[in-house]
Chains A and B, each alone.
Chain A
Amino acid sequence: MASKQLRILVPVKRVVDYQIRPRVNKAGNAIETNGVKFSINPFDDIAVEEAVRIKEKNKSLVENIHAVSIGPAKAQDILRNCLAKGADTSTLIDSKDVQLEPLAVAKVLKEIVDKQKTNLIIMGKQAIDDDCNNTGQMLAGLLNWPQATNAAKVEFVDSDTVKVTREIDGGEETISGTLPMVITTDLRLNTPRYVGLQNLMKAKKKPMEKLSLKDFSNVDVQPRLKVISMEEPKPRAPGVAVKSVDELIEKLKDVKAI
């Protein structure tokens, strides 16, 4: 990297707030979104926080943090929070009601990466609405960049080498790579900050570019999957109280648990 300057891209998604219990709509083919609270995808919030922390730690290293969201016009609320938390610039790609699949999202993001001359992408490992956990990997594939998924710790060894500790089954894995690269974030990476009032006011003056899917007419965003049906999990059978250990063992035997 000649300039030694980081240009970080943080893609964020507006999803049903994770404290809200999602319900299937009447048609049984999607999540009910009417009258439901939406917020930033929590993993993306962690990604924003990490980008801002990198900038705070290495002021001379980071040239720009750019937040981007593909979603309805309302997604500008979460972008504005990103700007308040420390992103410098942002892009809203208004997709109206169209739900893009991960591959389409990755393709659109690739265009933004080219335009922004991004050399580090930090994004949530998955969005909690569809739990796909695809976009980061697909984007790295399209760009032919190294990727470090499920990051629990991100450290800069020098200005273009990054050491990432990953969450893996049964432990941690530490890997290192050189920029440009894609990092996807896991829960333990950091605890996001609150949005400060002063920063929220200042964020109004920060740039938000507004585009629509039409501006990406060269990108094929047609869905490749069809949702046949969506169902809520079966309610759990109520528990029973037992009076003695013997009864407990008997009951466990009845249900063939032991």
Chain B
Amino acid sequence: MIRGIIVKQLTKAARLRGPGNVAGVLRAAAALAPQITIKHNYSSKAQPKLTSELYPSVKRNPNYKKLANEDIQFFQSILTENEILQANDKEDLAFYNEDWMRKYRGQSKIVLKPKSVEKISQILKYCNEQKIAVVPQGGNTGLVGGSVPVFDEVVLSVSNLNEIRNFDPVSGILKCDAGVILENADNFLAEHGYIFPLDLGAKGSCHVGGVVACNAGGLRLLRYGSLHGSVLGLEVVLPNGDILNSMHSLRKDNTGYDLKQLFIGSEGTIGIITGVSILTPPRPKAFNVSFLAVNSYEDVQKVFVKAKKELLEILSAFEFMDDKSQQLTKHHLAGVPHPFEESYPFYILIETSGSNKDHDDEKLEKFLESAMEDGLVVDGVVAQDETELRNLWQWRELIPESSQCQGGVYKYDVSLPLKHLYSLVEAANARLSEAALLGDAPKPVIQAVGYGHVGDGNLHLNVAVREYNKQVEKALEPFVYEFVSSKNGSISAEHGLGFQKKNYIGYTKNPQEIKMIKDLKTHFDPNGILNPYKYI
């Protein structure tokens, strides 16, 4: 994503200078440089510890076969040289073994990147027979350690399945391979006047299949609803190698159980999604973004109610951020102007999108004026052009990266009733202070910050740390889960369970539900070869 921003800025510089002036372009780029100063220490530089060392209580299941030469020969018999990556002196497979946050590190020695669904089917059939554990992997942008191996599982990446299969410009139904990068899918749709009904910070890396497998929520759920509604069909390879195909893409089909729903949010535990058929809405022609400052979380809720009523059909995002999250981001995004010189307790980003700019402008303006007059909004800015619009979004979208760039981050993504949403952040800060873990170096915790999708009752609690540390983890877990459970919330709103939250499902689901989930897992994957040690 960061790379994307830099390229765009340079293109902008080039265009501003006009063609045929190389020196000028370079100078313009230099002139823009302050705007794009982003410190490139995404995460703790030290290689993460092996997951197996960090969590000694998790043991390798001895029922799984250890990869032997004959297995590799089998893979080589169906895959070409380019479709197999093996660990050796030059290649440590860190890209596939480590998660994006560098919190988990598996020990896989082989990555398979098949170029066809049939090959995936053959591989799974073989692994199932041989009881070889497999981790399905997409863009590896997951936040709960769900997409990386824990021990020596075979990594099966769908990144080579990356073709758009079909698009119907009348119905807006897109059919594509699972490995298509979300942003590429969206750019393709943009050419046809449509939009992908999901948007999230990792769009430049994450895969369409991956977002379906973990039922990602993202920034526009408020407008376009969850993937359970927009996905019309899936192609899934089951653990025994069978290919389940429901790509027929009917909007209405009440014949039998809606099987595809089981795989949406299954995190690769009962099948590998290889194809997605999804209903895409027409792309709005006009976007507006406004960034507001308010004095309390109470006022955040009031502005939300007002926005829903007064902006109604054009409201497409309503995000809130606390001041601490902005302080962290300012540190990280040096050079991009923050909308406000002063600090306020809370900030709101409102996006509207519609078909008529004049109509939207008028509506938004009226809403903002009356919110100011009511004293709800104490300060605010509106983007006057595309660049400002993107810059304002950055102050929300780059919080996750900013919270981890000084060492690491513990991320909690929870659903809570709106009135309790922010109290979790306050409680977490209080607890970390009491435990004397929060403060200036050498204390491990920099700050617990809160932001998220008010529209969906979804809070992101990010605990920015200087280093990953067992004491911090113990202070936070199961404290956070207990807190959420006591307020009848969910311990995973959109990130999923993965490895991180496997043991905590009981805080949200009751024993009956858990039993049914386990039964289903056993039904589809009796040998338990898919994505083991996770989910349930």
Chain A contacts to B: CB under 8 angstroms: 17-20, 35, 37, 39-40, 42-43, 45, 77-78, 81, 126, 128, 131, 133, 152, 167, 169-170, 186-188, 191, 193-198, 200-201
Q: List 19 A-B contacts (CB under 8 A).
A: A18-B385, A19-B12, A19-B390, A37-B357, A37-B385, A37-B386, A40-B384, A43-B16, A131-B18, A186-B31, A191-B34, A191-B35, A193-B337, A194-B339, A194-B381, A195-B382, A197-B380, A198-B372, A200-B382
Looking at the complex, which one of B8, B16, B383 makes contact with A194 (CB distance below 8 Å)?
A: B383
A198 to B383, CA, bound (A): 14
Once the chains bind, are B28 and A197 in contact (CB under 8 Å)? no
B-chain residues with CB within 8 Å of residue A40 when the two chains form the complex: 384-385
Main secondary structure of the interface of B (DSSP, over half): helix
List CB contacts (< 8 Å) of B30-83 with chain A.
Answer: 31-32, 34-35
B-chain residues with CB within 8 Å of residue A187 when the two chains form the complex: 13, 16, 28, 31-32
Looking at the complex, which one of A20, A128, A152, A197 makes contact with B382 (CB distance below 8 Å)?
A: A197
Across chains A and B, the number of contacting residue pairs, with CB separation under 8 Å, is: 87
A195 to B391, CA, bound (A): 13
Shortest CB distance A186–B (Å): 8
In the complex formed, the residue of A with least CB distance to B29 is A187
A193 to B339, CA, bound (A): 8
A18 to B390, CA, bound (A): 12
A-chain residues with CB within 8 Å of residue B392 when the two chains form the complex: 194
Shortest CB distance A165–B (Å): 13
Once the chains bind, are A196 and B384 in contact (CB under 8 Å)? no
Once the chains bind, are B18 and A19 in contact (CB under 8 Å)? no
Is the C-beta of B199 less than 8 angstroms from some C-beta in chain A?
Answer: no
A-chain residues with CB within 8 Å of residue B377 when the two chains form the complex: 197
In the complex formed, the residue of B with least CB distance to A85 is B384
Give 1 or 0 for each of B1-35: 1 = CB within 8 Å of chain A CB.
00000001000110110110001100110011011
A128 to B377, CA, bound (A): 35
Shortest CB distance A175–B (Å): 18
Is the C-beta of B419 less than 8 angstroms from some C-beta in chain A?
Answer: no
Chain B contacts to A: CB under 8 angstroms: 8, 12-13, 15-16, 18-19, 23-24, 27-28, 31-32, 34-35, 285-286, 290-292, 337, 339, 357, 361, 365, 368-369, 372, 377, 379-388, 390, 392
Once the chains bind, are B337 and A19 in contact (CB under 8 Å)? no
A195 to B382, CA, bound (A): 6
Once the chains bind, are A197 and B387 in contact (CB under 8 Å)? no
A40 to B383, CA, bound (A): 12
Once the chains bind, are B387 and A18 in contact (CB under 8 Å)? yes
Once the chains bind, are A198 and B379 in contact (CB under 8 Å)? yes
Shortest CB distance A204–B (Å): 9
A42 to B368, CA, bound (A): 25
A78 to B13, CA, bound (A): 22
Ranked 3 nearest A-B pairs via Cβ: A39-B385, A19-B386, A197-B380
Once the chains bind, are A196 and B379 in contact (CB under 8 Å)? yes
In the complex formed, the residue of B with least CB distance to A167 is B27
In the complex formed, the residue of A with least CB distance to B387 is A19
Looking at the complex, which one of B23, B337, B390 makes contact with A191 (CB distance below 8 Å)?
A: B337
B-chain residues with CB within 8 Å of residue A188 when the two chains form the complex: 31
A-chain residues with CB within 8 Å of residue B13 when the two chains form the complex: 187
Looking at the complex, which one of B32, B285, B337, B386 makes contact with A39 (CB distance below 8 Å)?
A: B386
Shortest CB distance A190–B (Å): 10
Contact A195 B23, CB 8 Å, known A128-B15, A128-B16, A201-B372: no
Shortest CB distance A162–B (Å): 21
Q: A194-B291, A194-B392 are in contact. List 6 more A-B contacts (CB 8 A).
A: A19-B387, A186-B31, A187-B32, A194-B383, A194-B388, A196-B380
A-chain residues with CB within 8 Å of residue B361 when the two chains form the complex: 77
A162 to B167, CA, bound (A): 60
A20 to B287, CA, bound (A): 13
A20 to B389, CA, bound (A): 13
Looking at the complex, which one of A17, A19, A133 makes contact with B8 (CB distance below 8 Å)?
A: A19
A-chain residues with CB within 8 Å of residue B290 when the two chains form the complex: 197
B-chain residues with CB within 8 Å of residue A45 when the two chains form the complex: 385
Which of B32, B379, B381, B384 has the most chain A CB atoms closer than 10 A to its own CB? B384
Once the chains bind, are B16 and A197 in contact (CB under 8 Å)? no
In the complex formed, the residue of B with least CB distance to A189 is B31
Shortest CB distance A198–B (Å): 7
A228 to B361, CA, bound (A): 37
In the complex formed, the residue of A with least CB distance to B361 is A77
B-chain residues with CB within 8 Å of residue A201 when the two chains form the complex: 369, 372
Shortest CB distance B20–A (Å): 10
Shortest CB distance A239–B (Å): 15
Shortest CB distance B368–A (Å): 6
Shortest CB distance B414–A (Å): 32
B-chain residues with CB within 8 Å of residue A77 when the two chains form the complex: 361
B-chain residues with CB within 8 Å of residue A35 when the two chains form the complex: 285
Shortest CB distance A195–B (Å): 5
Once the chains bind, are A18 and B386 in contact (CB under 8 Å)? yes
Once the chains bind, are B8 and A197 in contact (CB under 8 Å)? no
Contact A195 B16, CB 8 Å, known A201-B369, A201-B372: no
Which of B35, B365, B369, B385 has the most chain A CB atoms closer than 10 A to its own CB? B385
B-chain residues with CB within 8 Å of residue A20 when the two chains form the complex: 386
A45 to B387, CA, bound (A): 12
Once the chains bind, are B386 and A17 in contact (CB under 8 Å)? yes
Contact A169 B339, CB 8 Å, known A18-B15, A187-B13: no
Shortest CB distance B109–A (Å): 24
A35 to B12, CA, bound (A): 21
A193 to B291, CA, bound (A): 13
Looking at the complex, which one of A193, A194, A197 makes contact with B368 (CB distance below 8 Å)?
A: A197
Once the chains bind, are B382 and A170 in contact (CB under 8 Å)? no
Shortest CB distance B144–A (Å): 34
Shortest CB distance B195–A (Å): 15
B-chain residues with CB within 8 Å of residue A18 when the two chains form the complex: 12, 15-16, 385-387
A-chain residues with CB within 8 Å of residue B357 when the two chains form the complex: 37
Which of B13, B27, B379, B380 has the most chain A CB atoms closer than 10 A to its own CB? B27
In the complex formed, the residue of B with least CB distance to A20 is B386
A196 to B382, CA, bound (A): 7
Once the chains bind, are B379 and A197 in contact (CB under 8 Å)? yes
Shortest CB distance B7–A (Å): 12
In the complex formed, the residue of B with least CB distance to A22 is B15
A17 to B355, CA, bound (A): 18
Shortest CB distance A132–B (Å): 9
A-chain residues with CB within 8 Å of residue B390 when the two chains form the complex: 19
Once the chains bind, are B384 and A39 in contact (CB under 8 Å)? yes
